[in-house]
Amino acid sequence: MSKKYAFLFPGQGAQAPGMAKDIAESSPAAKKVIDDISAITGLDMAKLLWESTPEDLARSDNSQIAITAASLATMAALKEKGIEPSSAMGFSLGEFPALYAAGVLSFEDVIKVVRQRGIIMQKVCEEIAAKSEGRAPGMTAVLGLSQDQVKALVEPIEDAYAANMNSDKQTVVSGTFDALDKVEAAAKEAGARRAVRLKVAGPFHSPLMQDAAVEFEKFLADITFNDPKINLFSNVTGGKVLDGDQAKKAAVLHLTHPVLWTDEEACLAGVIKEDGIENSAVLEVGPGKVLTGLWGQTEFGAGIAATPVNTAETISTL
């Protein structure tokens, strides 16, 4: 019986200058992905990926397409080795490479969609910051409190929203600059181990991104979303994506609704257990290893191996 792989794709914040460079240098398929994305977007992807400063890469209009390029290049290198997913899910931005992996979006469409999504989100984030006298909105990770504790903590704070359900002990809050100051102070008072402002460009997965959702929905009107060909899981519902229509609606809701990552992990773990743990593996396909760490923090991942795949060396060991 052939091994079954679940691919996890990282989200914004995973970017780093130089990501996927060694993969593109060692894999013709990965190099072709980078070149093809350059042709579609009109951007010099090699320069963006490998010569940008961390500050430039942190911008949504740069990081989203760059992370997607690194993830898709890594996936192409895995395919060269005969490794393809039977399940896919992505964290936030990572849901779009997952849509491609599942056959929901074509290669050209996923690149166009991610590029436009990043541009729209960056613009809205800058507009929010301008209204706040330059104090940029963003996200704060609260560690050491349960999801319910964090939800209760942010409820009375205006313009603060529980946005990413990362694990039982880690929840990310989106908000304006001032709102996040209040969240961080309240979290420490409530006994949180840490409250860390993240290096992201805006208050993602919250109602503060409603203007971006409206504009993004208009852009998606002419984009075809096919039914998934493999198991695909949704940040918005926390469960399986049933068809292309649901995937398209979720792509818009994605901007203003929380990421139900722990629910997705539980759903994926159930599929893996049905397939047989001994015959399955979870791969984090793209820069960083955050999702591998989150998988290891949950009871769902017990006994199921997870591996970050972000270098030529990690690919060669599979």
Strand duo 4-9 + 194-197: pairing: unpaired
Instruction: Tell which residue, 173, 175, 174, 177, has the closest CA to residue 135.
Output: 177
Query: What are the Cα distances from residue 80, in Å, to 29, 70, 192, 242, 302?
Result: 7, 16, 45, 29, 30
Measure the CA–CA gap between 71 and 54, rounded to whole angstroms. Answer: 18
Question: Is 2 annotated as catalytic?
Answer: no
Q: Which helix (H) or strand (E) holds 25?
A: helix 21-26
Active-site residue among 60, 92, 167, 234?
A: 92
Active-site residue among 205, 234, 257, 280?
A: 205
Q: What's the alpha-carbon Rg for the chain, to the nearest Å?
A: 19
Measure the CA–CA gap between 47 and 220, rounded to whole angstroms. Answer: 28
Question: Is 257 annotated as catalytic?
Answer: no
Measure the CA–CA gap between 184 and 33, rounded to whole angstroms. Answer: 41
In 10 A of CB 63, how many CB atoms?
26
Query: What phi and psi, each to the nearest 5 degrees, are found at residue 162?
Result: -70, 120
In 10 A of CB 146, how many CB atoms?
14
Give the active site residues.
92, 205
